[in-house]
Structure 1
């Protein structure tokens, strides 16, 4: 029942945003009584905090699963960037984005969202370094990895307004060429 409530919360965050998500709608979507929902999550804040934790765990698992399916060798950088681009344009990212925006003006929510996002950000950075075979002891490489993550996050944000998959793919393909040159892996995207 708890899982159904969390999934319903994420779905509603994506569909209706934070302001449009209510405990009543979550109960209805999850197919549970209001009393059962209140037993698990007495307030919207409790429900949203649990959803933040749930979304963070789901995002981490999705990244790990996608990383395991990446090809080795030729076109690896391009595949890593497309994986990140897909992740940052997924419904789970849209739900997280709703929580970020709400947390900007809600101190209690920010106190819950910020540490989880910092941890997920560190994990995503480490994973990206590993997947790209980047050597962060080389000056500028850490910044390139962070610029890559900022780029895919920004493209994911743009995707919330309009489906931008074709444009995103072209941008990421060009960035893969740039990264290969900067990281010393020329020819990967040939």
Structure 2
């Protein structure tokens, strides 16, 4: 069966993006080159550079792509909203404890030392942060016109990021579950 060139190109691009996030999460910035990603994706380095002319293009596109995929998946978990805010809290915290967060963190650290990358990552992080906040507001059924609600939702997301950082060094699932339960109660109290 003949697969149109556009479909093959899209599939190659998606394999490269997934491989880039996996490499970044596993090997960090220093160990994640275009050649390493191309090999993992099963494509030539030339094909990778055709899609992404620079390393910065590849990795910022990869983090953005996976963030969009995760946003779609998160919304799909609660297509009609969630009756239980604790389930939403747990799902949002999970965003910050997986490979995407680890990959994004490596990108942030690299961007702190590389001016060209910093500008791109700062813009990307702002977009992803706004989208994550929007999703949290929607899924938590938060009315941001009420005083303190926006700050509470943002505080929850900041705390979630902190749990993700702690998870990089040790698996702290038991403590994280208790914190998730407490934040579910806090959000119920503030948002109801």
TM-score > 0.5 by shorter chain: yes
- Equivalent of 1:53 in 64, 81, 86: 64
**Cα pair 2:90 2:180 within 8 Å, conserved:** yes
Instruction: Tell me the equivalent position of 2:43.
Output: 32
Summarize the Cα distance change of 1:69–1:134 in structure 2 as closer, same or farther, 3 Å threshold. Answer: closer
Summarize the Cα distance change of 1:87–1:67 in structure 2 as closer, same or farther, 3 Å threshold. Answer: farther
1:119 and 2:127 equivalent? yes
Instruction: Tell me the equivalent position of 1:187.
Output: none
Summarize the Cα distance change of 1:144–1:25 in structure 2 as closer, same or farther, 3 Å threshold. Answer: same
TM-score normalized with structure 1 length: 0.86
Number of corresponding residues: 181
Q: CA deviation at 1:34?
A: 2.3
Where does structure 1 lack aligned partners over 5 or more consecutive residues? 185-190
1:165 and 2:173 equivalent? yes
Q: Deviations over 1:73-122 (max 9, x none)?
A: xxx12111101111111211211121112112222212222222212211
Instruction: Tell me the equivalent position of 1:10.
Output: 21
Structure 1 runs of 4+ with >6 Å offset: none
**Cα pair 1:103 1:109 within 8 Å, conserved:** yes
1:148 and 2:159 equivalent? no
**2:169 match: secondary structure:** coil
TM-score normalized with structure 2 length: 0.85
**Cα pair 2:64 2:124 within 8 Å, conserved:** yes
Q: Aligned Cα RMSD in Å?
A: 1.9
Summarize the Cα distance change of 1:165–1:42 in structure 2 as closer, same or farther, 3 Å threshold. Answer: same
Where does structure 2 lack aligned partners over 5 or more consecutive residues? 1-11
Q: Deviations over 1:151-186 (max 9, x none)?
A: 1111111112122222111111012112222223xx
Q: Deviations over 1:122-170 (max 9, x none)?
A: 1221221222222222221111111111111111111121222221111
Q: CA deviation at 1:42?
A: 3.2
Summarize the Cα distance change of 1:79–1:19 in structure 2 as closer, same or farther, 3 Å threshold. Answer: same
